[in-house]
Structure formats: C-alpha cells, structure tokens
Structure 1
Amino acid sequence: MYDLNSAWVYMLQCRDGSYYVGSHRGPDVEVRVAQHQEGRRGEYTACRLPVKLVWCQPFQYIVDAIDTERRIKGWSRAKKEAMMRGDWDALPSLSRRRSGKPKQQEHRVRAP
C-alpha cells in the first residue's frame, strides 16, 4: 500500500472518446477521478462528462508522477492505447515522429 505521500498518474477517457492525462498527490486516485466527474478542477474534462478511469500508475514521489504525466501527454493516441493494454513491445515502433520522418542523427565534428 502507498502512504500519504504517494502520487498517481492517471488517464481518463472522456465522453467524446478523447483521453485526458493527469497527476494526483494522495493515497487514492479515485478521489481525483470523482472531482473530474463532478466537473471540478478540470476544465478539459468538465465539458466532456462523463469520464472513465482507463489507466493509472502509482508513484512514490509527485515529481516522478508529474514528469511521467508530461511525457505521456505528448504521446500519440496509438501509443497511449498500447500502454493501457500493457503492450510494451509496441511502444518503440509507435515512438516515431508524427511527421513520419525518422529523427536525424547528430553528426559530431572531431577536433583535428
């Protein structure tokens, strides 16, 4: 069990099918989900009710939860759905840039 200093990253599915990723400090992520359901403290989700908790992960420290939340928010829908399914093998192939072009390698110049 996690203590009072625990934290969470969670993902909600909204009425319109979109996903909302957030973080919460406290021992029970359901408290934060209930706030979303009531339309409190969540402008994005307030106009997309009802919401459903589709994924969550506990963290010991809030700073780690916030870092993970920010990272996941930048992911594609397909990558978020693979994570929810626990399909970790699919994540690298879904990590390509949205433009479809591979990231260019940095060329380092060596000193003579």
Structure 2
Amino acid sequence: MKTYYVYILECSDKSYYTGFTSKLHTRIIEHQTGKYPDCYTYKKRPINLVFHAEFTDPNHAIDSEKQIKKWSRVKKETLINNAFEKLPNLSKKKFKD
C-alpha cells in the first residue's frame, strides 16, 4: 500500500509552506537543495520539517493539504504543536460587536 504525506515546512523567514508528496524524504531534500527555483521555498532556505501526516488515500491527503493551506498561522502552529484539542475553537468565526 502506498503512503502519501502532507507536510509543513518552516522556512528561514519563519513562514510556513504546506505540501503533499508520496516520497517525503526525497521531497524534503529537493526543498533543502533548491531543486526547483520557482518553488516558494527556494529563496527561503534553509527549511525545517515541522509537521507531517501519513495517508493511504491520495485524495484525503490532497484535501488535507488544501485545508491546511487556508489556515491561519496560529492554527498551523497548533497543529505543529500537537494541540489538537484547541483546533475546534480556532475554527470558530469571530464576529465583531
């Protein structure tokens, strides 16, 4: 059974990059070495892998990647820190008075 990964990298400028791959180790090396000059991380190296999740269904992995990319920095950091119980509260819309 093939494994797919969603991962979050912390870049040298402290921004986060979220990606999807079936070869996590290889993809991290590609980010580190700057294999793709047009990639977001190319000018933001060095990078650090701060989170990854495994999936057996590529569609679930892609959906997860798309969802995480829309999240706020705080919500991504909550995921990175394994504080899963805090995620629902961060999903609630805040209304102005």
TM-score with structure 1 length normalisation? 0.78
- Of Structure 1 and Structure 2, the greater helix share is in 2
Partner residue, 1:37: 32
Residues of 2 paired with 1:86 and 1:39: CA distance?
Answer: 29
Unpaired runs of at least 5, structure 1:
103-112
Amino acid at match of 2:56: Q
Partner residue, 2:58: 62
Residues of 1 paired with 2:25 and 2:40: CA distance?
Answer: 18
How far residue 59 of structure 1 moved from its aligned partner, in angstroms, is: 0.5
How far residue 96 of structure 1 moved from its aligned partner, in angstroms, is: 3.0
Unpaired runs of at least 5, structure 2:
none
Residues of 2 paired with 1:89 and 1:30: CA distance?
Answer: 29
How far residue 25 of structure 1 moved from its aligned partner, in angstroms, is: 1.6
Q: Percent identity?
A: 37
Partner residue, 1:75: 71
Correspondence for 1:16 among 10, 13, 20: 13
TM-score with structure 2 length normalisation? 0.89
Count of aligned pairs between the two proteins: 95
Correspondence for 1:91 among 87, 92, 96: 87
Larger relative contact order (Cα-Cα within 8 Å, sequence gap ≥ 6):
2
Decide which structure has the larger Cα Rg and report it: 1
